[in-house]
């Protein structure tokens, strides 16, 4: 009697997917590409991964579609889209990052100024009346 319940994805599969995504992003970045939506993609990458649950209780991940009994395998497809990074897009991204960092710095400076003003006002209020 086949067990039609999906297998729970264990940490080996999670680690594989995480490693794949990191390496994929690093690899396409080195070649002048970045991930993107399907609509703007120039390339589509498909990777079929089959998780096999062994009789001994172990889990293996194969990077291909492998035959096997339905109740013992869990096949997943990873699809990623990429497009070439154009100079203007890279410059725009750098400008957005610089703007965000500048806003963050401005918030830190403003918070510091307010803290100093509050501290000075508090000290002034705490002075004895005769020193004023």
Digits of tens for pLDDT over the chain (132 positions)? 445 555 455 566 677 777 777 888 888 888 888 888 899 888 888 877 666 666 555 555 555 444 434 445 566 677 888 888 877 777 888 899 999 999 999 999 999 999 998 898 888 888 876 555
The predicted model scores a pTM of 0.42
Domain extents for the chain? Answer: 11-85, 88-127
User: Are the CB atoms for 64 and 114 separated by under 8 Å?
Assistant: no
- How far apart are the C-alpha atoms of 48 and 46, rounded to whole Å? 7
What totals of helices (H) and strands (E) does the chain contain, helices first?
A: 2, 4
Calculate the CA 98 to chain-centre distance: 20
- The predicted structure's pLDDT at residue 50: 65
User: What's residue 33's pLDDT?
Assistant: 87
Q: How far apart are CA 20 and CA 49, in angstroms?
A: 11
Residue 55 has a pLDDT of 59
Q: Answer for the pair 33, 85: CB distance below 8 angstroms, yes or no.
A: yes
User: Residue 99 has what pLDDT?
Assistant: 95
Joined together, the tokens standing for residue 66 give 């492998």
Closest CA to 22 of 84, 80, 102, 65: 80
């Amino acid at each position: 009697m086949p067990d039609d319940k999906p297998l729970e994805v264990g940490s080996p599969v999670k680690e594989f997917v995480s490693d794949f995504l990191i390496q994929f992003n690093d690899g396409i970045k080195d070649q002048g590409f970045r991930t993107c939506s399907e609509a703007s993609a120039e390339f589509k990458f498909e990777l079929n991964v089959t998780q096999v649950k062994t009789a001994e209780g172990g889990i293996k991940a194969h990077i291909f579609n492998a035959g096997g009994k339905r109740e013992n395998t869990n096949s997943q497809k990873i699809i990623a889209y990429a497009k070439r990074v154009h100079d203007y897009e890279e410059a725009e991204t750098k400008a957005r990052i610089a703007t965000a960092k500048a806003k963050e710095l401005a918030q830190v400076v403003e918070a510091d100024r307010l803290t100093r003003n509050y501290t000075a006002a508090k000290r002034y209020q705490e002075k004895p009346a005769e020193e004023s």
